[in-house]
Chains A and B, each alone.
Chain A
Amino acid sequence: EPEVTQTPSHQVTQMGQEVILRCVPISNHLYFYWYRQILGQKVEFLVSFYNNEISEKSEIFDDQFSVERPDGSNFTLKIRSTKLEDSAMYFCASNIAGGDYEQYFGPGTRLTVT
């Protein structure tokens, strides 16, 4: 069964460094998403991406974040200058057609900023 994959599973970085989190969505899906979950809190939407551009973004997704689909399979989230409060699980998701279609999530990347 097709699934969303994410790498790395765990990333440790120092405050102020740039990190890139990688995702491979399900191959025939057209809509891509990033979410995060800070320890003990709920899953929060960051950004959605369709047709090679950002569709929607939340207040959390400020100028330090960017997303890219560099090729036909990868979808990346870049955090330019990490802060301690960026420590969280980051989940990538995809769905076939947006709207009323379920989103399928990857296993997540645990980002630890020290």
Chain B
Amino acid sequence: DQQVKQNSPSLSVQEGRISILNCDYTNSMFDYFLWYKKYPAEGPTFLISISSIKDKNEDGRFTVFLNKSAKHLSLHIVPSQPGDSAVYFCAASTGGGADGLTFGKGTHLIIQP
């Protein structure tokens, strides 16, 4: 039962170019979405989030786009830097109270010099 899907296990991008990571969800009750970055042997680090009332949120090099009708969100990183190489997780919640996050399986982003 994959309510949050990240269909690309890995993605390779050249340094300086745009990285686009995609995420789809099936649960229409989700109304808050987050992206986390994770290095090996560390916990997930919060990157950026978006509420369902918005379709875009930007923070420096990171922009998240939400298409509610398609139940799809994407994370854009521009320009990509070597330190961006990590596993990126998409997560979602229904936004109520102490709701646990539902995570995707992650996309391993590799930034090539």
- CB within 8 Å of B: which residues of A? 4, 6, 31, 33, 35, 41-50, 55-56, 58, 91, 93, 98-100, 102-108
Q: Does B51 contact A (CB under 8 A)?
A: yes
Q: How far is the CA of A91 from the CA of B41 in the complex (A)?
A: 11
Bound together, the chains give a CA A78 to CA B46 distance in angstroms of 26
Known A43-B44, A106-B43; judge A99-B99 contact (CB<8 A): yes
Residue B102 CB within 8 A of the other chain: yes
Given A43-B89, A45-B100, A105-B36, 4 extra CB contacts under 8 A: A6-B43, A43-B44, A56-B99, A99-B32
Residues in chain B within 8 A of chain A (CB atoms): 31-32, 34, 36, 41-46, 49, 51, 89, 91, 93, 95-106
Decide if A102 touches B49 in the complex (CB within 8 Å).
yes
Partner of B100, one of A42, A58, A100, A108: A58
Task: Output the least CB separation between A36 and chain B (Å).
Answer: 11
Q: Which residues of A contact B42 (CB under 8 A)?
A: 107-108
Determine chain A's interface SS by DSSP, over half rule: strand
Min Cβ gap A10→B in Å is 10
Q: List 10 A-B contacts (CB under 8 A).
A: A33-B101, A42-B106, A43-B101, A48-B99, A50-B97, A56-B99, A98-B99, A99-B99, A107-B41, A107-B43
